[in-house]
């Protein structure tokens, strides 16, 4: 979950709904998250200093937009590397 | 539809101890999300049941706040530790007063014992709280039982630090009224109050129940009989007390008094606080 959220927000700053949409679109609908449960994960990542957020107004509507911090970018790189190693190993075994 | 959902979510959050600014932020973000969802899908079901969302948010906040308040509590303990060392340095510049020569003998003796005992309890309980918090910091959410143990350790550490500050003030009033000493005691007490409020606030959101929490040996990474461990630890502390007492008092008899006090103190604290601090089950 953390990797998905960080990767989605790394492309561009997003609000909660935007994060869910970005993950759904990038995965061609395969990853369809329970949308309300994205927020606890976002709060946790923000609390860990991996994301920052602020209120903005878009089309007269207030929304909280999340962006990756420098620490978050470093964590994303590490998580990506770990995931690729894991996925490569599973692929090698199951091929 | 959206207002009804938000009303239920607000109620569910409040039932789980999420109120005030935290709840307002969650509700504002949820409203924005639900409006977009309704515009696109004509329904808000994909957001999930309000009960589940509230429970996950409360568990998340409970975990984050407990870990953070424990770091804060340790910062407060470090501050009080420095204040205590400064206090002892000022006190140590003059000859030790007669322990039974205080204005109120009982208070004087209690203050002196408190100055020896409470900082040590604060140090040990604070280290235990910090170690558990650091060990489990990577977990997405922690069970309410684990969080209770961390907060309990931090609370005991802060309470002991508060009593150390009271002992500092009492000692100063009984033996030597000194503005520097009283200021150190007062500032320490205020800092402890701040740390205690943060730990208490961290306990409001309700986390998920997850079974029994680990004990001291889960923290240490090995397992043995808790009382055997307590006796070994007490013996080690008593040995250090003996060495310190011998050096400070200039004779081995003084060292023996210190060793007895330290060793008995460790065992008494283990008996009194063992279960509360999850030193034993």
Least confident of A82-91, B92-101, B194-203: B92-101
Closest residue to A35, CB basis, from B25, B33, B50: B33
**Which tens digits make up the pLDDT trace of B217-259?**
988 888 899 999 999 999 999 999 999 999 988 889 989 999 9
pLDDT at B103 over 90: no
Instruction: Write down the H helix ranges in B99-178.
Output: 105-135, 144-175
Question: Under an 8 A CB cutoff, do B48 and A36 touch?
Answer: yes
Å between A10 CA and nearest CA of chain B: 20
Q: Which residue of A has its CA nearest to B140?
A: A44
**Residue B93, pLDDT score:** 80
**Residue B232, pLDDT score:** 95
Least confident of B97-101, B115-119, B247-251: B97-101
pTM exceeds 0.80, yes or no: yes
ipTM of the complex: 0.87
pLDDT at A82 over 80: yes
Å between A90 CA and nearest CA of chain B: 24
pLDDT at A33 over 80: no
Sheet holding A61-68, edge to edge: A14-15, A61-68, A51-58
Q: Which residue of B has its CA nearest to A58?
A: B32
pLDDT at B67 over 90: yes
In the structure encoding, which two tokens stand for residue A77, read together? 């790189």
Asked whether the CA dihedral B207, B209, B212, B218 is positive or negative, the reply is negative
Residue B66 makes CB contacts below 8 A (sequence gap 6+) with B133, B142, B147, B150, B151, B199, B202, B203
């Amino acid at each position: 979950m953390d990797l998905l959220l960080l990767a989605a927000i790394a492309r561009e700053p997003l609000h909660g709904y935007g994060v869910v949409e970005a993950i759904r679109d990038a995965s061609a609908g395969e990853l369809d998250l329970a949308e309300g449960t994205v927020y606890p994960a976002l709060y946790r990542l923000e609390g860990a200093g991996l994301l920052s957020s602020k209120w903005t107004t878009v089309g007269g509507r207030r929304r909280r937009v999340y962006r990756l911090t420098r620490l978050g970018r470093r964590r994303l790189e590490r998580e990506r590397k770990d995931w690729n190693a894991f996925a490569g190993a599973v692929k090698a075994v199951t091929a | 539809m959206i207002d009804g959902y938000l009303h239920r979510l607000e109620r569910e959050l409040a039932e789980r101890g999420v109120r005030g600014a935290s709840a307002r932020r969650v509700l504002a973000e949820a409203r924005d999300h639900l409006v977009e969802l309704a515009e696109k899908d004509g329904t808000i079901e994909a957001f999930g049941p309000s009960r589940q969302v509230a429970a996950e948010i409360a568990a998340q906040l409970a975990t984050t706040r407990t870990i953070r308040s424990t770091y804060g509590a340790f910062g407060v303990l470090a501050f009080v530790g420095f204040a205590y060392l400064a206090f002892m340095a000022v006190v140590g510049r003059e000859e030790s007063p007669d322990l039974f020569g205080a204005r109120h003998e009982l208070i004087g003796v209690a203050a002196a014992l408190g100055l020896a005992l409470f900082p040590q309890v604060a140090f040990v309980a604070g280290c235990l709280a910090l170690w558990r918090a650091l060990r489990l910091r990577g977990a997405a959410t922690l069970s309410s039982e684990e969080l209770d143990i961390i907060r309990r350790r931090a609370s005991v550490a802060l309470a002991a630090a508060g009593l150390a500050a009271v002992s500092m003030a009492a000692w100063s009033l009984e033996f030597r009224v000194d503005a520097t000493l009283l200021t150190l005691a007062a500032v320490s007490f205020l800092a402890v109050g701040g740390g205690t409020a943060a730990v208490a606030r961290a306990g409001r959101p309700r986390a998920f129940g997850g079974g029994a929490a680990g004990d001291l040996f889960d923290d240490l990474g090995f397992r043995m009989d808790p009382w055997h461990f307590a006796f070994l630890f007490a013996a080690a502390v008593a040995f250090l007390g003996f060495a310190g007492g011998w050096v400070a008092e200039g004779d081995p008899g003084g060292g023996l008094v210190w060793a007895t006090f330290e060793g008995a103190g460790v065992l008494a604290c283990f008996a009194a606080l063992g279960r509360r601090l999850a030193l034993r089950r």
